[in-house]
Amino acid sequence: MVNLLDAVAQIFGKPATEPEVEPSQKIENKIVPGEEILNIDEDKVVHIFKQVYQHAYNVKKNHIIVWDKVWSLFNNQYDFSQKADWQSKAYTTKFNGAIRTLMAILKRSVLGAKKIFSVEGVGYESKLKQANVENLLFYWFYKSNFRHEFTKSLMAGVLSSLAILKAYWNNGVKIEACDPYDITLDPTGRNKFIIHRIKMDLYDVQKLANEGVYNADKVALIKESFVRAELEYKEKLRRNEPGATPPPFRKEVEIMEYYGDLFDEDGSLIEENVIITIANDKYLLRIVKNPYPIKPFFIYPLYFVPFSVYHKGFFEDVVTAGLIDEMSRVLNGIIDGHLFSIAKAFELNVDLVVDPEEIQSGIYPGKTIKRTGYANERLIQEVNIGNISQQNLAVYEMLAREFQNATSITEFIMGMPTSRGRPTATEVVQKTQQTMSALEDIVRDLEQYLIVPLLEFVFDLIMKYQDNFTDAQLQEFLGRNLDYTLPLEQFKEKYFSGQYEFRVNGISQTLLKQQTVEKIALLFQLLQANPNWASKIDLDRLLYKILESLDLDPTELIIEQQGNQEQQVGVIPPVSTQPTEEVEQ
């Protein structure tokens, strides 16, 4: 009998950094403090999870079929298996060009602003602290690499149907893009649960067990299963059995995380708002109360469908309709026709050839052939196969226009030359405005329903879990004028507590600023017609508003007046229409 512990040491090596966790050892959770472990029958939980997941995944499978097709076209994976060797196997680049153009517009609209978001306090006390909250959020969004993760989620949403971000606390704020393939939603649309599939290395699973997050006994069983697979493979080799497949070198564990309410098979509620973690479809690693009031996922469909769960992909219509495939077929037909028109075909009278072996290698320029017969008998004659069909060109242009109409990504937006002559300036402006109007609507919803809730959730995470403000880089973001010697709760209360509204400075704020500029221009016209009104307006605040609308920082341009009241230490004065007053220390 092989000792499994010895086999573990032989295959995986002895642990070099962290000791194994004793099953009875109580370890405080270092990842999310205060998680409440639930005592529910493990076999029952695993059985219920399997039933719920299987039903939800069966509903999702139809969407996965469409996503696979879009991803295949994006990766230029076309089926040319039925084509002959001589036939063209080109594909249209309009699809990838449209994706790149759409991504560029969406990224520029959301991330193009100097400040991605802004914070506005509700009430005077909160307004005094809003700059501190804003700087704190900027720090964590910078540390969590938000721009990169947001771009990944957006790209995945364009190619599937959902842009998904996940936020949580793991010794700091973490923001991650989620692959829609790995997210399974409640198919009823009632949002009772979200299931997240994660691939992890065995070492990382063991590390979480050592930190008290996962059940150490179950992790030991997972490790043992890898050892058993290795031993079974070696035993098959020893017996020379067919089908001996070596286990993968990298030991990966499939983790399924369930967030939501847990129901029994009779429909009764077992527990609200739980987190269940199951490994390799059978090992229950943990079941705890969700420490967050909501599920930590932020999901937005780029193509909204009423009462749908997975909605539709932005390019789903043109892909499922076969428009991209048809464009490639027509394009290849045009190329084949062109090759036929320039590569001549010849007819050879073999009866006039003296030595047939001379023509076995074909006919080429400078070829010498011995012939017989009369001089008026032609040995070689050119055969007219045909020219490029103008109908094929017209069909391709029609399909290209249909693609533009379906996606709103026109040739003007993509920076491509038009196929129907030189357009007028009016035509360019109108088509560009139509496209941008459609995309601006997507961006507004993206800001409102994805990024704003994410900001609110991240701020709640910080206020609940951050227990250290001594990091030098963090203090650089917050400013040196805060009193970092204060106790933690007093520090949070003085500089961050309050009620705030979060705004994304993307396309919606750009349009709002444009409207403000237009209103200010109208105001100046009224003041010019009625000079007496100017004495009733605070010109300093009006100037502040003008600079802000032009996306200029008023604090860098406005000269401070002498004799102003001293500001509270560590508190940046708000931009407010309320009268200035001294804040009690």
Instruction: State yes or no: pLDDT of 484 exceeds 60.
Output: yes
Q: DSSP letter at 585?
A: -
In a domain, 178, yes or no: no
Instruction: State yes or no: pLDDT of 2 exceeds 60.
Output: no
Instruction: State yes or no: pLDDT of 29 exceeds 80.
Output: no
State whether 400 and 459 are in the same domain.
Answer: yes
State whether 366 and 484 are in the same domain.
Answer: no
Neighbours of 424 (CB within 10 A): 9
User: φ and ψ at 201, to 5 degrees?
Assistant: -75, 150
Q: Summarize the confidence of residues 220-246 as an average pLDDT.
A: 86
Domain tally for the chain?
A: 3
Instruction: State yes or no: pLDDT of 177 exceeds 70.
Output: yes
State whether 440 and 496 are in the same domain.
Answer: yes
State whether 337 and 349 are in the same domain.
Answer: no
The percent of residues above 70 in pLDDT, for the chain, comes to: 82
Q: Summarize the confidence of residues 471-483 as an average pLDDT.
A: 92
What is the per-residue pLDDT for 105?
84
Instruction: State yes or no: pLDDT of 47 exceeds 80.
Output: yes
Instruction: State yes or no: pLDDT of 227 exceeds 60.
Output: yes
Q: What is the chain's mean pLDDT, rounded?
A: 82
In a domain, 21, yes or no: yes
What is the per-residue pLDDT for 501?
94
Q: Summarize the confidence of residues 161-188 as an average pLDDT.
A: 95
At 189 the three-state DSSP class reads coil
Rounded CA gap, 339 and 86, in Å?
A: 10
Q: Which helix (H) or strand (E) holds 119?
A: strand 117-121
Instruction: State yes or no: pLDDT of 383 exceeds 50.
Output: yes
What is the per-residue pLDDT for 483?
93
State whether 437 and 578 are in the same domain.
Answer: yes
State whether 455 and 373 are in the same domain.
Answer: no
Rounded CA gap, 418 and 404, in Å?
A: 12
**CA-to-CA dists, residue 228 to 5, 7, 245, 254, angstroms:** 11, 9, 14, 17
In a domain, 173, yes or no: no
User: Cβ neighbours of residue 562 under 8 Å, at least 6 residues apart?
Assistant: none
**CA-to-CA dists, residue 398 to 332, 402, 404, 527, angstroms:** 16, 6, 10, 54
Q: Summarize the confidence of residues 378-404 as an average pLDDT.
A: 80
Mapping DSSP onto H, E and C, the string for 501-558 reads EEEECCHHHHHHHHHHHHHHHHHHHHHHHCHHHHHHCCHHHHHHHHHHHCCCCHHHHC
| Strand ranges in 170-294 using DSSP code E only, listed in sequence order | 173-177, 183-185, 193-201, 252-263, 269-279, 283-289
**Axis-axis angle for helices 539-549, 507-529 (nearest 10):** 140
State whether 410 and 322 are in the same domain.
Answer: yes
Does residue 261 contact residue 271 with C-beta atoms inside 8 Å?
Answer: yes
State whether 252 and 367 are in the same domain.
Answer: no
Query: Which of 263, 294, 325 is the C-terminal boundary of a domain?
Result: 294
Please tell me which residue, 364 or 96, carries the higher pLDDT value: 96
Does residue 67 contact residue 162 with C-beta atoms inside 8 Å?
Answer: no
Instruction: State yes or no: pLDDT of 580 exceeds 50.
Output: no
What residues pair up with 93 in beta bridges, in sequence order? none
State whether 486 and 513 are in the same domain.
Answer: yes
Please tell me which residue, 206 or 249, carries the higher pLDDT value: 206
Instruction: State yes or no: pLDDT of 28 exceeds 60.
Output: no
State whether 407 and 525 are in the same domain.
Answer: yes
Q: How confident is the model at residue 422 (pLDDT cuts 50, 70, 90)?
A: low
pLDDT tens column, 280-300: 999 999 999 998 889 999 999
Q: How confident is the model at residue 350 (pLDDT cuts 50, 70, 90)?
A: confident
Lowest mean pLDDT across 78-87, 153-162, 258-267, 491-500: 78-87
What is the per-residue pLDDT for 565?
46
Instruction: State yes or no: pLDDT of 34 exceeds 60.
Output: no
Instruction: State yes or no: pLDDT of 330 exceeds 70.
Output: yes
User: φ and ψ at 200, to 5 degrees?
Assistant: -130, 150
What residues pair up with 371 in beta bridges, in sequence order? 353
What is the per-residue pLDDT for 16?
40
In a domain, 163, yes or no: no
In a domain, 72, yes or no: no
Please tell me which residue, 397 or 56, carries the higher pLDDT value: 56
What is the per-residue pLDDT for 6?
52
What is the per-residue pLDDT for 143?
94
Q: How confident is the model at residue 26 (pLDDT cuts 50, 70, 90)?
A: very low
Q: Got the DSSP string for 293-343?
A: SS-SEEEEESB--TT-SS-B-TTHHHHHTTHHHHHHHHHHHHHHHHHHHHS
What is the per-residue pLDDT for 525?
85
User: What Rg, from alpha-carbon coordinates, does the chain have?
Assistant: 34
In a domain, 269, yes or no: yes
What is the per-residue pLDDT for 511?
63
Q: Summarize the confidence of residues 486-493 as an average pLDDT.
A: 94
| Alpha carbon distance, N-terminus to C-terminus of the chain | 76
In a domain, 170, yes or no: no
What is the per-residue pLDDT for 377?
81
pLDDT tens column, 507-521: 666 666 667 777 888
Q: How confident is the model at residue 561 (pLDDT cuts 50, 70, 90)?
A: low
Does residue 174 contact residue 145 with C-beta atoms inside 8 Å?
Answer: no
Instruction: State yes or no: pLDDT of 342 exceeds 80.
Output: no
**Axis-axis angle for helices 42-74, 146-159 (nearest 10):** 80
The percent of residues above 90 in pLDDT, for the chain, comes to: 42
Do strands 193-201 and 183-185 pair parallel, antiparallel, or not at all (unpaired)? antiparallel
Neighbours of 546 (CB within 10 A): 17
Instruction: State yes or no: pLDDT of 400 exceeds 70.
Output: yes
Residue type, 560: E
State whether 422 and 500 are in the same domain.
Answer: yes
Instruction: State yes or no: pLDDT of 214 exceeds 70.
Output: yes
Lowest mean pLDDT across 114-118, 404-408, 576-580: 576-580
Does residue 288 contact residue 377 with C-beta atoms inside 8 Å?
Answer: no
Residues of the domain holding 367: 345-384
- CA 56, chain centre distance (Å): 22
Instruction: State yes or no: pLDDT of 27 exceeds 50.
Output: no
In a domain, 84, yes or no: yes
| Strand ranges in 238-301 using DSSP code E only, listed in sequence order | 252-263, 269-279, 283-289, 297-301
Q: Summarize the confidence of residues 473-502 as an average pLDDT.
A: 93
What is the per-residue pLDDT for 575?
44
State whether 206 and 236 are in the same domain.
Answer: yes
User: Cβ neighbours of residue 443 under 8 Å, at least 6 residues apart?
Assistant: 106, 109, 110, 506, 507, 508
